[in-house]
Structure 1
Amino acid sequence: MTSNKSFYMSVWRWHFYAGLYSIPFLMMLAITGLIMLYSPVAERWTNQDLYYVDQVNNSPISFDKQKDLVVAAYPEDQIKTLFVPNDINEATRFQVIQNGEAYSVFVDPYQEKVLGELGISDSIYAWADDTHGTFMLGLTGDRMIEIAVSFTILLVITGVFLWWPRSGMTFKEALSITRHKGRLFWRNLHSVIGVWLSVILIFFCLSGLAWASVWGGSLLQAWSTFPMGKSAKNVSSTLTHQDLNVKGLKQVPWGLEQSTLPESDSEIVQAVNKSTTAANIPHMTLDNIVFAAKEIGFTQFQVFIPQSETGVFTASASSMSKDIENATDDRTVHFDQYTGEVLADVGYEDYSLAAKAMAVGISLHMGQWGIWNYIVNTLFCLGIITICITGVVMWWIRRPTSKVRLGAPTKPKNLTTWKQAVWFILPVSLLFPLGAAAMIGVLIFDRILLFTIPKARALFD
């Protein structure tokens, strides 16, 4: 019995310290997640004069002429992407890069005029995305969040253990919020909501970690990237699909971000380099590419415009860029800018198993599967905020007021350190190296540093 109680206290202590680090990040992730979920809807609703045209007639001007209007309005800037309207009432949208910042520029194809612009890089969505992914601290923030999310896996494991019904309590009773008072009420609310959300929370952790620099970028994504070099005849030595993204917005499917970009026909490129004038070299137009994309099945999509003489036109429809809702319909096709030849055609069915799982997972994570996905994600974010608040309230109620102490659960006296830690470090370390490294750091801090500083030991005991 004493051993069981000691193990319970050990689990509780790990749960406390994991929460101590993770709660600020979880609050931030939930709040910014809600902002990212609803800000695109709010932007479209509050800027209907840009997103939609007033009058529709039967003769819209060509996409190339629309691009010329944008070039005339932004002569010094880079025209990067065309978003093909999905409805005749929608304005055509171009992405323009101005001094490194990205803007959406809207064109009325019937009135033949530029309607205006909206910032992308400085939008509230971009701010929330940067905060959500890096805490606005760059790579350092990215790794701090990766540790917090890894610790959240530990929180779920230890939390379910602490919640598990004991002393004759049924699962039905354990899953119900009972009418306790004081700290028991807050503990019951915290644990029941936590258990109900545990599976979804693990899912959000795993899909979110797909973007993290170590577990996502260096491990999982690197191993799961589509091998463009085996599919396309010519590929870039320096550019990847990630270069198609603009500052403040991810538009390329996860499984393609690290994949190299194809290049247009090398012989024609050499002819361009030797030619005194480019007028003699045939080029595909935007309208040619839009027509070709629709001929092979695209409906709502965007076209990335070549930025160099070796570049390609890329037609892309993905849930990542919100072109489509269903990630299993992802498709990216690259066209030679001179001949219109299809250089590569990559769909969901071509992704690796991990890339398929992440494509679906990320689109669910971002709420791309319709109104039910919005509702679930909203309730989930509100639930996470509630868990964080109730955890702080519980600590505040039980914190010691007579001494300067953190109020951590009492350290067990009859279990060795490795027995306390191995159950939690092992499953996390097998998958999440940064989380495991942080946990080992906690053990070193707990066993070595605190024993050399008596005042610090008193604070943490």
Structure 2
Amino acid sequence: MSVIDDPSRPTTAPPEPEPTAPEPPTPEPTAARPAVARGRHTGLFRAFWRWHFYASVIVIPVLLTLAITGLIYLFRFQIEPALNSELMRVQAPAGETVLPYEMQRYSVSQAYPDDQIVSMTEPSAADESTRFTLTTADEETRDVFVDPYTAKVLGGLNPDTTLSGTAIRIHADLMAGRTGELIMELGACWALIMAITGYYLFFKGRRARKRQRDKGARGARLRWTHAGIGSFVGVGLLLLIVSGLPWTGVWGAQVQGLLTKTGQSFWSQDEGALSNPTSTLDESLPHSHHVVPWAQEKSPVPDSDPGAAGTAGSEGAEGGEVSVANVDTAVTVAARTGLERPLTVAFPRDESGVFSVIGYAFNDPAKERTVHIDQYGANVASTYGYDDYPALAKVVSQGIALHEGRRFGTVNMILTTVFCLAVIAACITGPVMWWRRRPRGTGSLGAPRGRMPLASSPWLAVGVVALGVFLPVLGVSLALVLLLDRLVLSRLPATRRFFA
């Protein structure tokens, strides 16, 4: 895209609107640009409109993907039980109580003898099954569901293949690993440009849009609708970009590295578990995003003390007993500390491991807490939660809960739903507007003409540079675009004409 156009040269691209008009009139392909229009391209409105246009080319595919997959993940607790009711739903017999979790675990081990049980999540309602997560011999993940009233194994599935599981994998990295992460981060960075330029166009062009709508001009109502939707989407977009940046592979990783040197962190630092850490909590659990609070994923896990077995009144080390605690013991001990239910229990990974009992506190990150239970003495090896987080980790935890539509319960979920639908609508109305006004038979893309007056607006130049430095992916991509424009696009007649 060219940002250094010569405004005086004749062109077959559609004539430009007045600086306050959001759309050009019907093009006249054969007419040369009149001399009176020569100074128009240096205006901020046209420049911002042009950058808004090209940012949307990058952003719309990413935003559309994020909005659709985000909606699916937002309603995962409604969608998955409906699609897999035979696994996730049970009949709660009148007067019956939930059987011991150890009995349920035994049923799973008998049904899947070659798999390793790594965690259990207790039911959150009377009609829900107990979920056990296993690692198969092929290092894949399997969720197995058990009727908590009969200990009957209902079956299993790979969480990666479910609708919500697929959606979150696409949402995270397009299921393309590092490359997908980079594309998502690139889209998020340019979404910031699109939001900033969009608000400038919204406020500067509001009178022109109103005049055109009042006159009943062609396409005026669609432009008015797009502007209204965009004004709502922009605020949420800025919030989601900020709250989602800690997840990114470039910005998040680089900033985390800098913070570590200052004693801060996006994640918690489990000081109570630093005696001899051998793994982190997210390594103990596959698909840890389902149950492990994001800020605790990198927290170390302590070891059990085999010598503590004697304190529990068992044979201990002398009798050769492997463990005196089981999943029911871990749940009982952890529940006494006031953890939020339902609980998830990560099983000891080996003879030196602990039971890590996680209270996720879905709606309130301030109640997130994990209790590590020694598998021999059933003692609390360490407890770590929100109150122990570094200050920045607390802020990020709250932002993530807001990002996922759960911080303020139903209200947050409704607002996030409306926001996702609005994003989808904006991603549709924008291209429709371009399609209606695109020049036909001119060989031009129909992009707005205008160059950013960086030389005459130092504050604008400083802002662009600051954004590029703060968001490295944006800065690198912007530099590449400008170099491509100056060295290639503006020099070749075909590309110069196509990109206006």
| CA apart distance, 1:402 | 2.4
| CA apart distance, 1:224 | 2.3
Cα distance in 1 for residues equivalent to 2:206 and 2:88: 60
Determine if the alignment matches structure 1 residue 406 to structure 2 residue 442: no
CA 218–125 in structure 1, closer or farther in 2 if over 3 Å, else same: farther
CA 43–281 in structure 1, closer or farther in 2 if over 3 Å, else same: closer
Determine if the alignment matches structure 1 residue 50 to structure 2 residue 87: yes
Determine if the alignment matches structure 1 residue 337 to structure 2 residue 379: no
| Aligned position for 2:238 | 202
CA 423–260 in structure 1, closer or farther in 2 if over 3 Å, else same: same
CA contact (8 A) 2:43 2:453 kept: yes
CA 308–442 in structure 1, closer or farther in 2 if over 3 Å, else same: same
| Aligned position for 1:428 | 467
| Aligned position for 1:96 | 134
Cα distance in 1 for residues equivalent to 2:463 and 2:427: 21
Task: Tell me the TM-score normalized by structure 2.
Answer: 0.81
Cα distance in 2 for residues equivalent to 1:366 and 1:208: 10
CA 150–58 in structure 1, closer or farther in 2 if over 3 Å, else same: same
**Is the radius of gyration larger for structure 1 or structure 2?**
2
Tell me the alpha carbon deviations over residues 197-235 of structure 1, each in whole angstroms, 9 at most, x when there is no partner. Answer: 22111111122222211222442486322222x332424
Determine if the alignment matches structure 1 residue 161 to structure 2 residue 203: no
| CA apart distance, 1:279 | 3.4
Cα distance in 2 for residues equivalent to 1:126 and 1:112: 26
CA 390–87 in structure 1, closer or farther in 2 if over 3 Å, else same: closer
CA 167–102 in structure 1, closer or farther in 2 if over 3 Å, else same: closer
| Aligned position for 1:192 | 228
SS of 1:164's equivalent in the other structure is helix
Cα distance in 1 for residues equivalent to 2:328 and 2:55: 55
| CA apart distance, 1:413 | 8.9
Cα distance in 1 for residues equivalent to 2:114 and 2:144: 14
Tell me the alpha carbon deviations over residues 232-267 of structure 1, each in whole angstroms, 9 at most, x when there is no partner. Answer: 242434x22221342495432222223332222387
| CA apart distance, 1:45 | 3.1
Cα distance in 1 for residues equivalent to 2:378 and 2:453: 73
| CA apart distance, 1:3 | 7.5
CA 181–32 in structure 1, closer or farther in 2 if over 3 Å, else same: farther
| Aligned position for 1:148 | 187
Give 2:395's match in structure 1, choosing from 351, 354, 357.
Answer: 357
Within a 5 Å distance, the mapping from 1:73-152 to structure 2 comes to: 73-98=111-136, 99-152=138-191
Worse-matched range after superposition: 191-200 or 339-348:
339-348
CA contact (8 A) 1:34 1:381 kept: yes
| Aligned position for 1:326 | 364
Worse-matched range after superposition: 77-86 or 216-225:
216-225
| Aligned position for 2:300 | 260
| Aligned position for 1:289 | 330
Cα distance in 2 for residues equivalent to 1:236 and 1:361: 28
Q: Which runs of 5+ in 2 are unaligned?
A: 1-18, 20-38, 310-315
| Aligned position for 2:346 | 304
| Aligned position for 2:272 | 231
Letter of the 2:410 counterpart: I
Letter of the 2:301 counterpart: L
Ranked by relative contact order (alpha carbons within 8 Å, sequence separation 6 or more), the top structure is 2
Cα distance in 1 for residues equivalent to 2:478 and 2:170: 24
CA contact (8 A) 1:106 1:117 kept: yes
Q: Which runs of 5+ in 1 are unaligned?
A: 270-274
Q: How many residues align?
A: 447
Identity %: 32
Letter of the 2:444 counterpart: R
SS of 2:473's equivalent in the other structure is helix
| CA apart distance, 1:87 | 4.0
| Aligned position for 1:272 | none
CA contact (8 A) 1:226 1:259 kept: yes
Letter of the 1:316 counterpart: I
Determine if the alignment matches structure 1 residue 383 to structure 2 residue 383: no
| Aligned position for 2:50 | 13
Tell me the alpha carbon deviations over residues 32-58 of structure 1, each in whole angstroms, 9 at most, x when there is no partner. Answer: 111112233122234444334332544
Determine if the alignment matches structure 1 residue 251 to structure 2 residue 291: yes
Letter of the 2:73 counterpart: M
| Aligned position for 1:317 | 359
| Aligned position for 1:347 | 385
Tell me the alpha carbon deviations over residues 96-123 of structure 1, each in whole angstroms, 9 at most, x when there is no partner. Answer: 2223332222222332321222331211
Letter of the 1:199 counterpart: V
Cα distance in 1 for residues equivalent to 2:277 and 2:291: 19
CA 46–57 in structure 1, closer or farther in 2 if over 3 Å, else same: farther
CA contact (8 A) 2:66 2:171 kept: yes
SS of 2:247's equivalent in the other structure is coil
CA contact (8 A) 1:95 1:105 kept: yes
Give 2:486's match in structure 1, choosing from 447, 455, 459.
Answer: 447
Tell me the alpha carbon deviations over residues 326-354 of structure 1, each in whole angstroms, 9 at most, x when there is no partner. Answer: 22211112222222232322222222232
CA 247–278 in structure 1, closer or farther in 2 if over 3 Å, else same: farther
Task: Tell me the TM-score normalized by structure 1.
Answer: 0.87
| CA apart distance, 1:309 | 2.1
CA 325–179 in structure 1, closer or farther in 2 if over 3 Å, else same: farther
Cα distance in 2 for residues equivalent to 1:105 and 1:349: 33
